[in-house]
């Protein structure tokens, strides 16, 4: 059941557990015979293909030598990455500090100039060689977080030049020398941070769980501006990182707000809503998304768990299109198409300009399909090497055709995957829930 509960905070318990019996020691009533079939989230109507039936065309793959922050670059629009050939494991490395009942691994690796940087669930930052996984330096940030911080929820990394930035569940932002891990400056915002920082225009931009966004000067840590959103109590474990482009920062809040902020002064430029239609089950009514908003050219694409995906004009905030399905993961824009893993475990291809559905592929919903046990949480997608990659809590990575969604193959790693794949220099990296890092070429 870990695959379900790792994404929710305790604020959900009063809603989900209303009417439960047998939790506190009393005798449960006899169970009524028969098969039990969910009438809530597992019985959503199928998506309708609304786009024209022309062949999907994707851009040529490009070789990115780095993946310096969450989502790749600050705009998060990575298009088609180069990763030719079949995926074959070239190395794996156990880092320690995986998820447990006290701590959760939420930060994806970042890659820069042939080095990989990983922050584990116990707030240990480690440097590795991208070519062979050989470990370099390690820094135990937990020793600097203070008493009672042994269990850590959240955190992420970003790199810029010789500076490495780390956010933590204790609410402290670290700036380190990426060559040796020495701490240069710290800032304590006082509230937990569940996502990685964004680096843009000399700034380190972070969002906390209360929907406040902070900008710090990357060189000395001085605060440039702060923006406050609406507080939301029922949220997923984890969060999205801000996107930035053309002097605008776009933040997806757990309240369902999508907010555009001026990068220079923190002034709010426009606000959109990702809140979908109210549904019967409480989990589907959570508007939070752990996925990053995407800025592609002049379009912002974002999605939420409550059943809405939208595209908005970056400059004006005018809505271009919307759908009646959503995701708790990041969309992926490639040329004139958008790929998305929906909350109903479907991989969808949309037309970027209209939001019309071109094709839909149903992913596996349960590890045990017959008994509908162990629901699978899918993450991604990532387009690399003429294949769409999605990773699952079952430990499987599926490869699907970007043209029609047909499965091409799959690989399996040792443990559950909750973090989206990362690609750099034609190598695909996966970090599993036990903090083992895999490299595939």
Find the CATH number of the domain harbouring 378: 2.130.10.10
Q: What is the pLDDT of residue 30?
A: 52
Instruction: Return the half-sphere exposure (C-beta side, CA atoms, 13 A cut-off) of residue 163.
Output: 19
Query: Do the domain assignments include residue 422?
Result: yes
Give the confidence band of 98 by pLDDT, cuts at 50, 70, 90. very high
Write down the pTM of the prediction: 0.88
Range list of H helices, 1-159: 2-5, 13-16, 142-145
For residue 228, give its domain range. 63-440
CB 172 within 8 A of CB 188: yes
Query: Do the domain assignments include residue 22?
Result: no
The two tokens of residue 363 are 């992913």
What mean pLDDT, rounded, does the chain reach?
A: 87
Give the confidence band of 41 by pLDDT, cuts at 50, 70, 90. very low
In tens, the pLDDT along 220-266 reads 999 999 999 887 665 556 689 999 999 999 999 988 899 999 999 99
Interatomic CA distance for residues 97 and 285, integer angstroms: 32
- Extended strands (E) in 218-376: 223-228, 243-245, 248-252, 257-262, 268-273, 294-296, 299-304, 308-313, 319-323, 332-334, 337-341, 346-351, 357-362, 366-368, 373-375
Query: Do the domain assignments include residue 74?
Result: yes
For residue 426, give the nearest of 30, 16, 66, 33 by alpha carbon: 66
Residue 293 CB-density burial (10 A; 0-12 exposed, 13-18 middle, 19+ buried): buried
In tens, the pLDDT along 320-349 reads 999 999 998 999 999 999 999 999 999 999
Query: Do the domain assignments include residue 5?
Result: no
Interatomic CA distance for residues 202 and 253, integer angstroms: 23
Query: Do the domain assignments include residue 82?
Result: yes
Q: What is the pLDDT of residue 386?
A: 97
Q: What is the pLDDT of residue 143?
A: 75
Whether the per-residue pLDDT at 16 is higher than 70: the answer is no
Q: Running DSSP on this structure, what letter comes out for residue 379? A: E
Q: What is the pLDDT of residue 347?
A: 98
CB 421 within 8 A of CB 397: yes
Interatomic CA distance for residues 54 and 399, integer angstroms: 22
In tens, the pLDDT along 200-223 reads 999 999 999 999 999 999 999 999
Q: What is the pLDDT of residue 397?
A: 98
Q: What is the pLDDT of residue 25?
A: 41
Query: Do the domain assignments include residue 186?
Result: yes
Cβ partners under 8 Å of residue 38, min gap 6: 372
Peptide bond between residue 20 and the one before it cis (omega within 30 degrees of 0): no
Give the confidence band of 106 by pLDDT, cuts at 50, 70, 90. very high
Give the confidence band of 276 by pLDDT, cuts at 50, 70, 90. low
Instruction: Return the half-sphere exposure (C-beta side, CA atoms, 13 A cut-off) of residue 209.
Output: 23
CB 270 within 8 A of CB 225: no
Stronger pLDDT, 192 or 35, i.e. the higher one = 192
Q: Cα(first)–Cα(last) distance of the chain, in Å? A: 32
Number of domains making up the chain: 1
Query: Do the domain assignments include residue 2?
Result: no
């Amino acid at each position: 059941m870990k695959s379900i509960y790792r994404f929710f905070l305790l604020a959900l318990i009063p809603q989900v557990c209303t009417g439960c019996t047998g939790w506190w020691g009393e005798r449960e009533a006899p169970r009524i015979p028969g098969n039990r079939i969910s009438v809530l989230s597992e019985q959503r109507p199928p998506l309708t293909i609304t786009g024209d039936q022309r062949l999907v065309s994707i851009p040529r793959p490009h070789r990115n030598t780095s993946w310096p922050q969450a989502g790749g670059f600050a705009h998060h629009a990575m298009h088609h990455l180069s990763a030719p050939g079949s995926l074959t494991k070239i190395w794996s490395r156990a880092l320690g500090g995986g998820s447990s009942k006290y701590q959760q691994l939420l930060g994806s690796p970042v890659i820069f100039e042939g080095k990989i940087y990983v922050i584990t669930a116990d707030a240990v930052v480690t440097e590795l060689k991208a070519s062979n996984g050989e470990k370099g330096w390690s820094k135990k940030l937990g020793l600097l977080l203070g008493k009672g911080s042994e269990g850590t929820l959240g955190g992420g990394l970003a790199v810029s030049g010789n500076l490495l930035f780390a956010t933590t569940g204790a609410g402290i932002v670290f700036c380190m020398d990426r060559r040796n891990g020495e701490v240069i400056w710290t800032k304590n915002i006082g509230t937990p941070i569940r996502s990685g920082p964004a680096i843009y225009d000399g700034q380190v931009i972070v969002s906390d769980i209360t929907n406040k966004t902070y900008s710090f000067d990357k060189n000395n840590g001085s605060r440039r501006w702060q923006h406050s959103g609406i507080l939301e109590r029922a949220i997923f474990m984890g969060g999205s990182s801000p996107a930035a482009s053309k002097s605008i920062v776009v933040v997806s809040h757990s309240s369902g707000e999508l907010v555009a902020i001026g990068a220079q002064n923190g002034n709010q430029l426009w606000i959109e809503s990702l809140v979908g239609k109210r549904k019967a089950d409480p989990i589907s009514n959570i508007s939070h998304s752990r996925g990053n908003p995407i800025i592609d050219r002049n379009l912002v694409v974002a999605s939420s768990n409550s059943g809405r995906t939208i595209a908005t004009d970056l400059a004006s905030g005018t809505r271009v299109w919307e759908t009646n399905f959503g995701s708790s993961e990041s969309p992926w824009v490639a040329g004139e198409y958008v790929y998305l893993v929906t909350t109903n475990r479907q991989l969808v291809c949309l037309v970027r300009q209209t939001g019309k559905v071109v094709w839909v592929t149903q992913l596996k919903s349960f590890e045990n399909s017959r008994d509908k046990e162990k629901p699978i949480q899918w993450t991604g997608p990532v387009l690399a090497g003429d294949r769409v990659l999605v990773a699952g809590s079952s430990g499987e990575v599926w490869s699907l055709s970007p043209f029609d969604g047909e499965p091409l193959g799959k690989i399996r790693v040792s443990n559950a995957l909750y973090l989206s794949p990362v690609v750099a220099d034609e190598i695909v990296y996966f970090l599993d829930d036990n903090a083992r890092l895999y490299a595939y070429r």
